[in-house]
Structure 1
Amino acid sequence: MDDLAHLAAVRRESDAADLARALAFVRDFARRKAPREVAVPGGVAVLDERYPGSYDDNKLLVWEEADPREVLRAADEALAGRAHRLVEVHDDRLGEAFAPVLARAGYTHAVNLVMAFRGDVPDDPPPAERLGLAELLPVLRREWRQSLPEAGDEVVEALARRAEARTAGAETVAFRGVRAPGGELAARADLYVHGGVAQIEDVHTAPAHRGRGHARALMGALLAEAAGAELVFLVADAADWPKDFYARLGFAGLGRTHSFLRA
């Protein structure tokens, strides 16, 4: 094996190890913050009765070999009483195998890209502002009212308050933001750190402040804050433009996961 082939093989092994570590982090985060979990074929269901309408807080996580028909039955049992069914498959091959069976059962299929930071941490970026829940919750309520104008106050409140449960998911759960010159919160995101791994999640720029570099500034601050972690990663929609933005910042794809939703 020549040097280039050897380096490529080492890189593939490193990427595979980082992918496994990132996906274990995602599963463990979901399980730590869930009040209840139930064993299902190939994985677990995480359940939170406080937020029955929340997809993220009530779903199946599957990462080991399983019969998709048994997974469908388990989803109906574990998520009984919910208006949705969500199955996340943390194995690309398994997700592809599940796709035709779940499609026939009325599930829509989405693919996510797990991306690890492989670039250089920005030099001395301005720090992001620490956001407490008292300040974050009104922002989340406003965002949900904008995206779901038909939803009632009770639904909006439950969707916003899901952030409270995230604090149980990792050793460090930090809410960060950057402001526009006028003082309004322009962009925000979560940073989770546990066991030497860091995940950047829920990156959002207010519509009125998009295209002005706020998300880039926020990401620079988060990468600097997480610089001591052995692995920094995020999960992006494989079919949407943010993955390209993250790639320009130095993130590289490790592998894919699959989400199946019936709502």
Structure 2
Amino acid sequence: MPADVELARAIGFVHAFARRRAPREIAVPGGFAVLDDRYPGSYDDNKLIVRSLDPQPSETAAAKLLRAADEALADRAHRLVCVDDDRLGTAVAPAFAAAGYAQETNLVMAFRGTPAQDPPAAERLDLAELMPLLRRDWRRTLPEAPDEVIDGLAARVEARLRGADLVGFRGVRAPDGEIAARADLYVHDGVAQIEGVFTGEEHRGKGYARALMASLLAEAAEAEAELIFLVADAGDWPKDFYGRLGFAGLGRVHAFLRT
């Protein structure tokens, strides 16, 4: 499968996943916005997603997107605009920066290797076990946040169950029984995404994430996924870790956030 086709399928998967999990969707120039009134502070559940844009001659692309974000997210305390066309994202970046947005550039990566034949088994985590882990990890990340914010950030995971035919929460344990690394696996219509790979700080550098990834790749292959992909920060070290596991870059996407 050509890389440009893989990139289009991966981006299409992300868009469809966001739509299926969102209680509310509205059209915006070049794309759509997803909204979830249950979790108004969740960036990922309340955002604009833009694939391409043909601005009117009298208005720049950046101005159109900035206005769309203000309108669609008017009752939210944040603005998040995801631009999934690299050229468009690069072009609008200066205007977004001037408007007070921080930019993140991510790399869409596809698996090019061969899944292990007998990988270590990852444990299936149900919501009852996953929720306390999410609360704990969000509390560590946001020590000053009110309890209701932490609870909301953890509870929103339930919406992911509507995003794909197969939505699996997986983890591997340390010898003491604690979940050392965890991640999500989504599979739909022959495409698989690995998302949310997380290793507890006290467990890093011990091979747990590698074992988890090997198990997820084997599971995706068993589900007959023709494309296995993930999205990694283009400027951070995990992309190199994924590269060593057999992932290769397909293209860049951009996210602009103002809080």
Shorter-chain TM range is over 0.9
Aligned match of 1:262: 258
Whole-Å separation in 2 of the counterparts to 1:198 and 1:258: 21
Q: Percent of aligned positions with the same letter in both sequences?
A: 69
1:166-185 map, 5 Å: 166-185=160-179
Q: Where does structure 1 differ by over 2 angstroms across 4 or more consecutive aligned residues?
A: none
Aligned match of 1:199: 193
Q: TM-score, normalised by structure 2?
A: 0.96
The alpha-carbon deviation at position 100 of structure 1 amounts to: 1.1
The alpha-carbon deviation at position 70 of structure 1 amounts to: 1.2
Aligned match of 1:103: 97
SS at match of 2:162: coil
Aligned match of 2:237: 241
Whole-Å separation in 1 of the counterparts to 2:46 and 2:131: 21
The alpha-carbon deviation at position 191 of structure 1 amounts to: 0.1
Whole-Å separation in 1 of the counterparts to 2:47 and 2:247: 27
Aligned match of 1:24: 12
1:3-22 map, 5 Å: 14-22=2-10
Tell me the amino acid that sits aligned with residue 253 of structure 1.
Answer: G
SS at match of 2:42: coil
Residue 114 of structure 2 is aligned to residue 120 of structure 1? yes
The alpha-carbon deviation at position 183 of structure 1 amounts to: 0.6
Tell me the amino acid that sits aligned with residue 14 of structure 2.
Answer: V
Whole-Å separation in 1 of the counterparts to 2:176 and 2:16: 39
Whole-Å separation in 2 of the counterparts to 1:186 and 1:176: 11
Tell me the amino acid that sits aligned with residue 118 of structure 2.
Answer: D
The alpha-carbon deviation at position 126 of structure 1 amounts to: 1.7
RMSD of aligned alpha carbons: 0.8
Aligned match of 2:247: 251
Aligned match of 1:10: none
Offset from partner CA, 1:206-230 (integer Å, 9 cap, x none): 1111110000000000000001200
1:50-199 map, 5 Å: 50-66=38-54, 67-199=61-193
Q: TM-score, normalised by structure 1?
A: 0.94
Aligned match of 2:57: none
Instruction: Give 5+ residue unaligned stretches, structure 1.
Output: 1-12
SS at match of 1:167: helix
Query: Aligned to 2:228, which of 226, 232, 245?
Result: 232
The alpha-carbon deviation at position 110 of structure 1 amounts to: 1.0
Residue 30 of structure 2 is aligned to residue 42 of structure 1? yes
Tell me the amino acid that sits aligned with residue 258 of structure 2.
Answer: R
SS at match of 2:45: coil
The alpha-carbon deviation at position 156 of structure 1 amounts to: 0.1
Whole-Å separation in 2 of the counterparts to 1:78 and 1:127: 43
The alpha-carbon deviation at position 123 of structure 1 amounts to: 2.3
Instruction: Give 5+ residue unaligned stretches, structure 2.
Output: 55-60
Whole-Å separation in 2 of the counterparts to 1:217 and 1:181: 14
The alpha-carbon deviation at position 102 of structure 1 amounts to: 1.0
